[in-house]
Amino acid sequence: MTDTLGAGAALPGYDPNGFFCEIFGGPGGDAAPSPAIQERLKRLDVGDLTQRAQAASDELFNLGITFTVYTEREAIDRILPFDVIPRPIGAAEWAVIEAGVKQRVQALNLFLHDVYHEQKILKDGVIPKPLVLGNKNYRPQMQGLDLPHGTYVHICGVDLVRGGDGAFRVLEDNGRTPSGVSYVIENRHMMLRVFPDLARDIGLRPVDEYGARLHQALHEVAPAEIGDPQVVLLSPGVFNSAYFEHIFLAREMGVPLVEGRDLEVEDNRVYMRTTAGRAPVHAIYRRIDDDFLDPKTFRPDSMLGVPGLFEAYAKGNVTLANAVGTGVADDKAVYAYMPRVIDYYLGEEPIIQNVETHICGEAEGLRYTLDNLAELVVKPVGESGGYGILIGPQASREELEQFRAKLTADPANFISQPVVSLSVCPTLVDGRIEPRHVDLRPFCLTGRDSWVLPGGLTRVAIKRGSLVVNSSQGGGSKDTWVLTE
């Protein structure tokens, strides 16, 4: 028996390399979430584990829990690689995450309401005006619209990372159409089927409430005068790579999964085409970007949207979740200001801090960034998906100099952050258990109030040493176990 459960002492050949380990704790011997899980993990036979992992993959494929990759010739269904070793989070730690995420969402909603009404935060100079009003995700059409309960971000995914010191930090807010929650729930189903022994009596908080909670939140924000509102999920269709998630959520909520062609607007009211003719629609969980929602208001070439939808929305006859124009709040530029935004509206310290961020539009931030360019990650604001990012430690001298020139020419367009040494979690790779870097995306639902799903999407970088957890770049996922104690 091992008495001390310090890092690396636990599994033969397993060495977190000085990173914080989600199962065995920090390099300094920090408390680990669950000794019971450590014990069970040590007893596992890797051969058996590998076999069961294969069975899980097969099952995911047959169940069609897949995303679709389109080549010129055909559509190929791929599963998101699923790693069978769970990522546990202790109850005390989770309580902090839960409170921190709620605080964040509350601030985001207050911020959006303000931006689309009096704009006090801009007038008070807390955030530079052009950053918000010049942002391509700012929607002037939203100005002055009152939304039920002032909720703009009904569904929020907050990306968290844990650094070497063991503290969680926010890397990014996803306030438009955060995805991945279907994997959270399906991973759990899979886990309980394939590894009932691992999860037994461990005190695991369930995740299957999500669909009912989402439906409830959408009910709460539907137009007030409707007694029993019709909720639908609006998807771009089967060719969307996240189509499985759309299916999943519609099924969990028990609502129709519609496409733009199923809806029509007359006299500023929205209807769906049914076998009995038209039936009214009151709340739409839309998985289509603002740009494509309504060719009359936004991009006229959109084939996915519904002509007249925005006008019906503006009249308050239908609710859209998330609201139009939330992209202005999850922008990288605004992200840098989030600690100040939280303080401005709530008079509170952020419960979960941002990753240390330097705003190059401010003299101090720019000087620091230029002085430490080779150690920092510099990101252009207003872009998404990792375009135009400089990763200092990986850049050549020439690249650094080129970037320095770009940065000096337009400093307001950039923020910088240190490279975060993401925590690791034991992961099954090629028949061995090795440390791999992970992040965490909890999901928060807000109708009248906020609720955080006790779980979250743990993404894992399958490649050794890689810090990139995105599924498009070979990332996989794990079941996230929020424990009752």
DSSP 483: B
CB-nearer residue toward other proteins: 257 or 333: 257
- Of 238, 303, 346, 363, the residue at the interface with other proteins (CB under 8 A) is 238
Q: Are the CB atoms for 65 and 244 separated by under 8 Å? A: yes
In our burial notation (b when 16+ CB lie closer than 10 A, e otherwise), range 75-97 reads: eeeebbbbbbbbbbbbeebbeeb
- What part of residues 216-235 is at the interface with other proteins (CB under 8 A)? 230, 233
- Evaluate whether 340 touches 127 at the Cβ level (below 8 Å): yes
Cβ-based nearer residue to other proteins, 65 or 97: 65
**Closer residue to other proteins in complex, CB, 189/205:** 189
- In the region spanning residues 262 to 301, those forming contacts with other proteins, defined by CB under 8 A, are 262, 272-277, 279
- Residue 256 interacts with other proteins (CB under 8 A): yes or no: yes
Q: Give me the least distance between CB of 28 and other proteins, in Å please.
A: 46
Strand residues in 119-206 grouped as ranges (E):
155-162, 168-174
Beta bridge partners of 480: 87
Binding map of other proteins across residues 170-209, x = CB under 8 A, - = no contact: ----------------------------------------
Distance of CA 271 to the CA centre of its chain: 31
| 293: exposed, middle or buried (Cβ count in 10 Å: 0-12, 13-18, 19+) | buried
Contact 292, 236 (CB under 8 A): yes
Give the nearest distance from C-beta 312 to other proteins in angstroms.
18
- How far apart CA 474 and CA 485 sit, in angstroms, is 33
- Rounded CA separation 377/161 (Å): 15
The minimum distance between CB 428 and other proteins, in angstroms, equals 24
Residues 154-170 as b/e (b if ≥16 CB within 10 A, e otherwise) read: bbbbbbbbbbeebebbb
Answer for which of 80, 191, 257, 304 binds other proteins (CB under 8 A) is: 257
- Counting residues that bind other proteins (by CB under 8 A) gives 26
Taking the complex as a whole, how short is the minimal distance between the CB of residue 278 and other proteins, in angstroms? 9
Minimum distance from residue 480 beta carbon to other proteins (Å)? 23
Stretch that binds other proteins, among 80-88, 149-157, 243-251, 360-368 (CB under 8 A): 243-251
Site for other proteins in 48-67 (CB under 8 A): 61-64
> Cβ of residue 256: shortest distance to other proteins, in angstroms?
5
37 or 249: whose CB is closer to other proteins? 249
Residue 363 touching other proteins (CB under 8 A): no
With a CB cutoff of 8 Å and minimum separation 6, the contacts of 477 are: 80, 81, 82, 83, 180, 183, 187, 457, 458, 459, 460, 471
Q: Which of residues 313-352 bind other proteins (CB under 8 A)?
A: none
Q: What is the 3-state secondary structure (H, E, C) of 351-389?
A: CCCECCCEECCCHHHHHHHHHCHHHEEEEECCCCCCCCC
Tokens 């399906």 locate to: 186
Tell me whether residue 251 or residue 315 sits nearer to other proteins (CB atom): 251
> In terms of CB distance, is 5 or 232 closer to other proteins?
232
34 or 230: CB nearest other proteins:
230
Name residues whose C-beta falls within 8 Å of residue 135's C-beta, 6 or more positions apart in sequence: 327, 328, 331, 333, 334, 382
Q: State which residue, 247 or 370, has the beta carbon closest to other proteins.
A: 247
Nearer to other proteins (CB atom), residue 40 or residue 269: 269
Whether the CB-CB separation of 471 and 86 falls below 8 Å is answered with no
Region binding other proteins by CB under 8 A among candidate stretches 82-90, 258-266, 333-341, 442-450 = 258-266
CB 219 within 8 A of CB 254: no
Applying CB under 8 A, among 259, 311, 362, 383 the residue interacting with other proteins is 259
Binder of other proteins out of 200, 251, 463, 464 (CB under 8 A): 251
Report in angstroms how near the CB of residue 281 gets to other proteins at its nearest. Answer: 10
Quote the least distance from Cβ 274 to other proteins, whole Å.
4
Taking each helix axis from N to C end, the angle separating 363-371 and 397-409, rounded to the nearest 10 degrees, works out to 170
**φ and ψ at 440, to 5 degrees?**
-150, 130
Q: Which amino acid is at 452?
A: V
Instruction: Give contact residues for other proteins (rule: CB under 8 A).
Output: 61-64, 230, 233, 238, 246-248, 250-251, 255-259, 261-262, 272-277, 279
